[in-house]
Amino acid sequence: MEKVKCKNCTKDIENEIFILNLWVCPYCNYHHYINARDRLQITVDSNSFIELGKNINSDDFLNFYDVKSYSVRLKETKLKTSLDEAVIIGEAKIEGNDVALGVMDFGFMGGSMGSVVGEKIKILSNYCIEKNIPLVIFCASGGARMQEGVISLMQMAKTVSSVNRVKESKIPYITIITNPTSGGVSASFATVADIIIAEPDALFCFAGPRVVKQTIKKNLPPDFGTSERNLKNGQVDMIVNRNELRSTLTNMLKLFKE
Amino acid sequence: MDLKKLEEIPKSYLKEILGALSKLEKLKKIPFFTGIHFKDAERDLAQKIESYKKVERDAKRVWKIVELSRNENRPQCLDYINGIFEDFVKLSGDRLTGEDRSIVAGLGKINGKTVAVIGHNKGKDIKQRLEYNFGMSIPQGYRKSQRIMRLADRFGFPIVTLIDTPGAYPALEAEDDGQASAIAKSILLMFEVKVPIIAILIGEGGSGGALALAVGNEVAMLENSTYSVISPEGCAAILWKNPSGTKLAARELRLTSRDMLRLKVIDRVIPEPIGGAQNAPGRMVKIVKKYIIGALERFASIPGEELKSRRARKFESMGFFSTK
């Protein structure tokens, strides 16, 4: 039997139990990384997801080269993750309720937001306005994608403008903060939602702990940036366990329906 | 090959060149190839070395601009406010929890018309710099800016922003107070107001902290100012994992005013006096004043709804990608 080690309590978990428990440690309830495809599977009604914006691909328009070129990084990441980009968007049903759904994946270049993520959030926003269905986005991101320079910074404005039109159309907008959500994504579409739900233990901040520690030259409290601290500070509406997210979302969607 | 030629090549490119060189040398030693000329291969390699040298030269050129943008003798937000706006009244506080001095906000007159002015102030000597926290803002600053923008919107005053910040202040208290949400709300509000927003980058345009004031109907940059998603230092630490990559990062990030114009992120470049704004601060202030008067005239007769939807269209069309 294959086993995985919990990143938090370091106990061995049988792989099968780990997956049945939705990648959550059965001993300490630590919520581990879950990829976008698995997230879709555990969130939406079976066979209800129709993907949108599949034809949009990132471009190395700056010829960005650090120790590797951006185009090579993209190719490698696509192979490794079998994803096209850091977000999947589409229409789906959750317990029969129609939603426009976006799911980010931290595994794709740290869930970083470049032109494609920005454009997909815009397409998804337009789609939910057109269909008049709620907008739900699972966030997971290290921030803006540096390889796209200032254009990635502009995606913050682009996504905020897109979801602002959703809000103006009086369509409910819900984000789910998953581990980690920081930088350009946390300071844009993630935090302007009507309802912000966080998974337990998720790091949710603008500047990451390393940068903050460097600046203030002091040790940070152990709960820096966690969902729990954010709840205490009034930055999220609630913390919901992964196995209860589907029912919480369903309930919320029903409340917004007249 | 003369190894001295390699001295001017950025370190991160050296591996590739040395790899190619040693391959070539090995090939030359195989008896089978004796008498065969490797001229083409050698020429290609020499060309590559030349192009990498150009990268290094380019990085040095860009770095000079980064230094100019940070020059402490450049005119700052308060210099522009004092030199451009009449009857300026500074307004303080976010009416929620505090006052962040890194952002200066208030009302003043230009060309006989009242406008709201909001900008980052860095400070000129160490005492001032500490007072203004080096132009690095906390949520109270962004919320004060939002308060003044709402005020301007209600009374139909155009908004002029002067951007000069290394970025938002990365501190525990700022995070606890909701730094991410404060910046996001500022951006959101700039898509809601129905008055003209003129945004001018006067020095450093650092990341989200800059964008929080920069969602303008017209965005202009002083010639030697910069605009970037991350500081070259921060980018080098993450991607090069080494501070030696800082100048290269500055080049790769394409953070100069010319790059911004080419990428259509900004609308105008405001020329600086020869050698940079620090050489003739008074003249620089006059040039910016002329620009603001012109910009306000360009938007004066456009209805509020139109201003708002133009801003949305403008920013929502930004991005480069391919469709297949």
Among A119, A165, A207, whose Cβ lies nearest the Cβ of B175?
Answer: A207
One domain for residues B143 and B199: yes
B173: Cα separation from own chain's centroid: 25
According to DSSP, the β-strands at B218-222 and B268-270 are parallel
Q: Is the pLDDT of residue B41 over 80?
A: no
**Closest-CA residue in chain A for B236?**
A66
Tell me how many residue pairs between chain A and chain B have CB atoms under 8 A apart.
Answer: 191
A65: Cα separation from own chain's centroid: 27
pLDDT (0 to 100) of residue B32: 77
Complex ipTM > 0.85 = yes
| Residue B55 lies in domain | 10-69
One domain for residues B133 and B64: no
- The first and second tokens of residue B262, run together, are 């080419």
The last residue of a domain, from among B28, B47, B69 = B69
One domain for residues B133 and B46: no
Q: How far is A55 from chain B (nearest CA, A)?
A: 5
**Closest-CA residue in chain A for B315?**
A158
Residues of A within 8 A of B312 (CB-CB) are 161, 164-165
Tell me the average pLDDT across A193-219: 93
Percent of chain B exceeding pLDDT 90 equals 78
Burial A35-47 (b: 16+ CB within 10 A, else e): bbeebbeebbeee
| pLDDT category of residue B1 using cuts at 50, 70 and 90 | low
One domain for residues B63 and B105: no
CB contact under 8 A, B211 and A153: yes
**Tens digits of per-residue pLDDT, B165-174?**
999 999 999 9
One domain for residues B16 and B154: no
Q: Which of A206, A226, A233 to mutate to test the interface with B (most CBs of B within 10 A)?
A: A206
Percent of chain A exceeding pLDDT 70 equals 100
Domain-embedded: residue B321: no
- 3 state DSSP class of A87: strand
Among B180, B234, B324, whose Cβ lies nearest the Cβ of A187?
Answer: B180
CB A58 within 8 A of CB A116: yes
- The first and second tokens of residue B322, run together, are 């391919």
**Tens digits of per-residue pLDDT, B227-259?**
999 999 989 888 888 888 899 999 999 999 999
pLDDT (0 to 100) of residue B3: 65
Residues of A within 8 A of B238 (CB-CB) are 146
CB contact under 8 A, A149 and B228: yes
One domain for residues B49 and B113: no
Rounded Cα gap, residues A207 and A215, in angstroms = 10
CB contact under 8 A, B254 and A150: yes
Lowest mean pLDDT among B11-25, B52-66, B193-207: B11-25
Among B181, B254, B322, whose Cβ lies nearest the Cβ of A149?
Answer: B254
Q: How far is A149 from chain B (nearest CA, A)?
A: 5
Residues of A within 8 A of B192 (CB-CB) are 164
Q: Is the pLDDT of residue B162 over 60?
A: yes
Q: How far is B245 from chain A (nearest CA, A)?
A: 8
Q: How far is A31 from chain B (nearest CA, A)?
A: 22
CB contact under 8 A, B265 and A154: yes
CB contact under 8 A, B318 and A183: no
Per the DSSP assignment, residues forming a β-bridge with A65 are A69
Percent of chain A exceeding pLDDT 90 equals 93
Tell me the average pLDDT across A102-119: 97
One domain for residues B46 and B104: no
One domain for residues B37 and B112: no
Residues of B within 8 A of A187 (CB-CB) are 168, 179-181, 183-184, 187, 208
Percent of chain B exceeding pLDDT 70 equals 97
Residues of B within 8 A of A182 (CB-CB) are 180
**SS3 annotation, chain B:** CCHHHHHHCCHHHHHHHHHHHHHHHHHHHCHHHCCCCCHHHHHHHHHHHHHHHHHHHHHHHHHHHHHHHHCCCCCCHHHHHHHHCEEEEEECCCCCCCCCCCEEEEEEEECCEEEEEEEECCCCCHHHHHHCHHHCCCHHHHHHHHHHHHHHHHHCCCEEEEEEECCCCCCHHHHHCCHHHHHHHHHHHHCCCCCCEEEEEEEEEEHHHHHCCCCCCEEEEECCCEEECCCHHHHHHHHHCCHHHHHHHHHHCCCEHHHHHHCCCCCEEECCCCCCHHHCHHHHHHHHHHHHHHHHHHHCCCCHHHHHHHHHHHHHCCCCEEEC
Q: How far is A154 from chain B (nearest CA, A)?
A: 7
One domain for residues B50 and B96: no
Among B172, B211, B263, whose Cβ lies nearest the Cβ of A220?
Answer: B172
Domain-embedded: residue B161: yes
Residues of B within 8 A of A118 (CB-CB) are 318-319
Domain-embedded: residue B83: yes
CB contact under 8 A, B187 and A157: yes
Count of domains observed in chain B: 2
The full set of domain ranges for chain A reads: 1-32, 34-256
In sequence order, which residues have a C-beta less than 8 Å from that of residue B164 and are 6 or more positions away? Answer: B76, B77, B119, B120, B121, B122, B135, B201, B202, B203, B204, B205, B225
Q: Is the pLDDT of residue B14 over 80?
A: no
One domain for residues B84 and B210: yes
Among B174, B229, B239, whose Cβ lies nearest the Cβ of A150?
Answer: B229
Domain-embedded: residue B239: no
Q: How far is A179 from chain B (nearest CA, A)?
A: 15
CB contact under 8 A, A151 and B265: yes
Q: Is the pLDDT of residue A216 over 90?
A: no
Tell me the average pLDDT across B170-180: 96
One domain for residues B161 and B204: yes
**Closest-CA residue in chain A for B227?**
A150
Rounded Cα gap, residues B216 and B189, in angstroms = 11
The last residue of a domain, from among B20, B50, B69 = B69
Q: Is the pLDDT of residue A21 over 70?
A: yes
Distances (CA, A) of B109 to B78, B216, B263: 15, 19, 33
Residues of B within 8 A of A228 (CB-CB) are none
**Ramachandran class of B134: left when φ > 0, alpha when ψ lies in -120 to 50, beta otherwise:** left
One domain for residues B56 and B83: no
Domain-embedded: residue B102: yes
pLDDT (0 to 100) of residue B17: 78
Query: How high is the mean pLDDT of chain A?
Result: 96
Q: How far is A195 from chain B (nearest CA, A)?
A: 13
CB B224 within 8 A of CB B204: no
| CATH number at A34-256 | 3.90.226.10
A51 vs B21: which has the higher pLDDT: A51
